[in-house]
Amino acid sequence: MIRRGIIFAAAVVLSTACTSDRVSDRESDRGSETMPTRDVMTVMDAHVAELMSLAGVAGVAVGELDGTPCIQVLVIELTEELRAAIPETLEGYPVDVQVTGEIRPL
């Protein structure tokens, strides 16, 4: 959906703050390597509620990171609180935090 002013025919202003850059400055996993024992969809399903409950999280999905399955967390902006609250891995799968901005009907 798009809207336009009758008088001024104003262009829709989309949010401009974010890019799709992935967070690349995270530390690599610490400690022992974890081998996933459950498939990535099951793991995501088990954690989606807690992730969606974090203020500023717009979505959670399954994707791939460098060819391996990962759990994506889409955030409106990456605050220090979110950076601290989102784990780096979940049951052995990397968590890919993506700054998407707000997701709106288009």
Partner 1 sequence: MLMSDPDVIGTATSFDDNGKPVVLLLVTSERARSAMPRSLEGTDVQVVLTEPIVAMKGRPGGGGGVSHTAIQTPPIQLGTSGGWRYDLANGYCCAGTLGSLIQVGGQKRILSNYHVFEADIVNGGNGRRAQTGDPVIQPGLIDINCNENSAQNVATLVVSGALPNANVDASTATIISGMVDPNGAILEIGTISSQTVGASVNQAVKKSGRTTGLTRSTVSGLNATISVSYENECAGSTVFTATFTGQILVANKRSKFLAGGDSGSLMVEDVSNNPRAVGLLFAGSNTIAVANPIDEVLSYFNASMVGN
Interacting residues toward partner 1 by CB under 8 A: 1-7, 9, 12, 14-16, 18-20, 41, 44, 48, 52, 58-64, 72, 74, 98-106
The amino acid at 2 = I
Cβ-in-10-Å burial (0-12, 13-18, 19+) of 16 comes to: exposed
Question: In angstroms, what is the minimal distance from the CB of 34 to partner 1?
Answer: 22
The Cα-based distances of 83 to 3, 16, 79, 106 in angstroms read: 35, 21, 6, 28
Nearest to partner 1 of 8, 32 (CB atom): 8
Shortest Cβ 44–partner 1 spacing (Å): 7
Cβ 30 to partner 1 shortest distance, Å: 26
- Closest to partner 1 by CB, 31 vs 67, is 67
